[in-house]
Amino acid sequence: MFRNQYDTDVTTWSPAGRLFQVEYAMEAVKQGSAAIGLRSKTHAVLACVNKANSELSSHQRKIFKVDDHIGVAIAGLTADGRVLSRYMRSECINYGYTYEAPLPVGRLVVQLADKAQVCTQRSWKRPYGVGLLVAGLDESGAHLYYNCPSGNYFEYQAFAIGSRSQAAKTYLERKFESFPGSSRDDLIKDALFAIRETLQGEKLTSSVCTVAVVGVGEAFNILDQATVQALINEFEISGEEAPATASVAEEGAGDAAADQGGAAAEEEVAPMDI
């Protein structure tokens, strides 16, 4: 993308029908360190690469608990992500106060998307520079959504965002068909494998990544370093390739299926809204 005369304001269309400021915001997401998410029928896992400014500083927090049944991983401007997490927590608390029930994930992501859209249509605002992977549980099972600065959101079986996320996406595309039936631990292992792909040669240790899980009977929680390191050791030592699980679902399960969540391919899994 090169500088042009239509990219100064978010409220300026280009002749080709593009809003460059929004696209630049999405670039900011691509610059952030990687975050990946994947889900089965009953569990959703978020994992991210920890980036630290220097050896002297602490890692940036990229995974936030929003409620017992929802968590979010961010990539991009983490300050924007923090603010949006606070908004999400507030929405969950208010909904819980009024209805004494957990806020359905699908509702939350729509609210988040609408909030992002506002910033693409006000001359005195700028789009949020952060992509959010929202993992949550509702009555129909586990869900994973991706909210981007444009105000769009999609549901995913598995997804990766941030720098070098393509490597993780390639891995996930190979494995995603086995995810719906995966056990919790296999799902976490797959998440770690995907993270390892983004590191491209760098050694995977628990100090470089953070993993969080939410599932049926398990409130959203961030796994502690010792647990993560133990899991990493398990598969590094056994020299295991990624867990090869049996069933391959129906055909035509390319990228399209992951994006649109065809009901045909995953009837038993939580339905995705299209």
Which positions touch another protein (CB under 8 A)? 65, 86, 89-90, 93-94, 96-97
Least spacing, CB of residue 82 vs another protein, in Å: 11
What's the min distance (Å) between Cβ of 12 and another protein?
38
Tokens at residue 89, please?
């927590």
Distance, CA of 140 to CA of 254 (rounded, Å): 24
Least gap, CB of 219 to another protein (angstroms): 12
Q: Amino acid identity of 245?
A: T
Q: Give the whole-angstrom CA distance, residue 7 versus residue 12.
A: 7
Q: How far is the C-alpha of 49 from the C-alpha of 53, rounded, in Å?
A: 13
DSSP H or E run through 20: helix 20-31
CB-nearer residue toward another protein: 111 or 221: 221
Residue 95 or 146 with smaller CB distance to another protein: 95
Quote the least distance from Cβ 201 to another protein, whole Å: 34
- Give the relative orientation of helices 184-199 and 225-237 as an angle to the nearest 10 degrees: 80
Minimum Å gap between C-beta 267 and another protein is 36
For residues 96 and 243, which CB has a smaller minimum distance to another protein in the complex?
A: 96
> Measured from the CB atom, is 105 or 249 closer to another protein?
105
- Of 195 and 223, nearer to another protein (C-beta) is 223
Minimum distance from residue 71 beta carbon to another protein (Å): 12
- Type of residue numbered 126: R
DSSP-derived 3-state class of residue 26: helix
Closest CB to another protein among 30 and 65? 65
From its phi and psi, is residue 76 left (phi > 0), alpha (psi between -120 and 50) or beta?
left
Report residue 25 as tokens. Answer: 């915001």
